[in-house]
Chain A
Amino acid sequence: MAAVSSPQIGTIQLTRSSACCSLNIDQPITGSVQLKKCKGWPGQSLKQHNSSLGFRNQARRQSGFLARASLETVAPTIGKVTEVGKDTFWPAVNAAGDKIVVLDMYTQWCGPCKIIAPKVEQLSEKYSDVVFMKLDCNIENKPLAKELGVRVVPTFKILKGKKVVKEVTGAKLDDLVQAIETVKASS
Chain B
Amino acid sequence: MAAAATAGLQTNYMGGLLYNFNVRNAIPPKRLITVRANKVEPSDKSVEIMRKFSEIYARRSGTYFCVDKGVTSVVIKGLAEHKDTLGAPLCPCRHYDDKAAEAQQGFWNCPCVPMRERKECHCMLFLTPENDFSGKDQEISAEEIKALTSNL
Contacts and interface: CB of A to CB of B under 8 A. Distances in A.
B142 interface: no
B23 A54 contact: yes
Contact of B123 (A53, A57, A72, A111): A111
A153 B74 CA distance: 14
**Chain B interface size range:** 35 or more
Contacts of A152: 93-95, 122
Interface stretch (A126-134, A135-143, A175-183): A135-143
Contacts of B2: 57, 59
A153 B36 contact: no
A170 interface: yes
B20 interface: yes
A145 B24 contact: no
Given A105-B95, A109-B75, 11 more contacts: A52-B25, A53-B23, A60-B6, A68-B32, A107-B92, A108-B40, A109-B78, A111-B75, A112-B93, A139-B37, A140-B36
Interface of B: 1-2, 5-6, 9-10, 16-17, 19-20, 23-26, 29-30, 32, 34, 36-37, 39-40, 66, 68, 70-72, 74-75, 77-79, 81, 92-95, 97, 122-125, 152
